[in-house]
Structure formats: C-alpha cells, structure tokens
C-alpha cells in the first residue's frame, strides 16, 4: 500500500523523532505488551510514514476517529500520553474510614434482644438511626460487610488473638435412612 500525501490538509500531523520511532519499534518487539498499546504504536508509526487515516485505520483494524484522536493526542500531549492512558481516579469514597469501622463494629456487635442475628435491613436502619451514615443501600451494606468481615483480623484487637472454634455439626436422620449434617442454630430462649 502506497502512502497518500494528505498530511498537508491535516491539523495534527505526526512527525516522530528517530528516538521516538526507535522506542515504538522496540515496544512492538517486546514480549509483553498489551494489544491496545501495540495498536497505538502501529498507528503512530503508520501515520508518521504518511499514510492517510483511512489506510492506517484499515491496517491496525480501528476506526478513522481513533486514528485522528491519537494523532491529536500525540501532537498536543506528547508520545507518552498518546501511547498510555491517563490515570483514572474513579469515584471518591462515599464513606470515611471511621464510618466503615463503625459499621463493622455494629455488624459484629450483639444484635437487638428480639433478634438472633443482624440482617442487612436491620444493620442499615441501625446505622442510619445511630447517625453513622445518612443513608446506605442494602447492596452497599452487603458489600461493606462482605469486604470488611472477610478482611484479615486486626492484630491489635484482643478478640482476633484468640482462635475461633467451630461448633460441631449434628446429624439428623432423613426419611430415607441416610444421615444429613446440619449446623446448630442459635436459640433465643423463647418457647
């Protein structure tokens, strides 16, 4: 394929230095390179050789807009930014570490007198009632409890230094004569 001379009409023209060209070619020969970065390297090399956006897009199997955007990013922000994505911070945390600790303490505390254990709905209502959080969804409560309760125990906690003991499982007969294992259930003391 012969390069077409359309660079004079383009606002953002890719002109690689020898060191940039060498860097891109070395990156393409590396054993570990993501396909996204390889595609960007090939795009910049072909654009530097004078190929049109249509030809470059066909060669690297991407859209014409992708080629144009990469050329623009190279010219305005440099080669590093053209090859690599910018850091994405993500959404900020909605809860402070103090709130997370308070929710974890609530979840591991003794449930209300009329309950055997905490439910997600009950934890949510109690966290709001105590002023730990203004609002929280059941799904978010579940994720927080799951993440925090499955994390390694805090070595400074006095509770974590003592090993947990599992209650033995009891066997109850089934109707077909086979034994089925059941975990013991807690009782409330109410008859």
pLDDT (tens, 9 = 90+) of the chain, 191 residues, equals 666 555 556 789 999 999 999 999 999 998 888 999 999 999 999 999 999 999 999 999 999 999 999 999 999 999 999 999 888 888 888 888 899 899 989 988 999 889 999 999 999 999 999 999 999 998 988 988 887 666 554 444 444 444 444 444 444 444 444 444 443 444 444 44
Do the beta carbons of residue 170 and residue 179 sit within 8 Å? no
Tokens found for residue 88? 């994405």
Neighbours of 158 (CB within 10 A): 7
> How far apart are alpha carbons 17 and 22 in whole angstroms?
9
pTM exceeds 0.75, yes or no: no
């Amino acid at each position: 394929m012969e390069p077409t001379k359309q660079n004079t009409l383009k606002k953002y023209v890719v002109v690689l230095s020898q060191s940039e060209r060498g860097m891109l070619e070395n990156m393409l020969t590396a054993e570990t390179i993501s396909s996204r970065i390889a595609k960007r390297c090939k795009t910049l090399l072909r654009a530097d050789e004078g190929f049109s956006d249509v030809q470059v897009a066909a060669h690297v199997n991407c859209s014409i807009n992708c080629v144009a955007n990469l050329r623009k990013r190279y010219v305005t922000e440099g080669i590093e930014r053209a090859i690599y994505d910018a850091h994405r911070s993500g959404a900020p945390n909605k809860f402070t570490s103090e709130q997370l600790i308070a929710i974890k303490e609530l979840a591991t505390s003794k449930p209300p007198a009329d309950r055997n254990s905490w439910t997600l709905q009950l934890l949510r209502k109690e966290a709001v009632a105590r002023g730990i959080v203004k609002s929280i969804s059941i799904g978010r409560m579940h994720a927080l409890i799951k993440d925090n309760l499955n994390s390694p125990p805090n070595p400074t906690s006095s509770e974590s230094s003592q090993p947990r003991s599992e209650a033995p499982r009891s066997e109850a007969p089934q109707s077909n004569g086979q034994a089925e294992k059941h975990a013991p259930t807690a009782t409330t003391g109410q008859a």
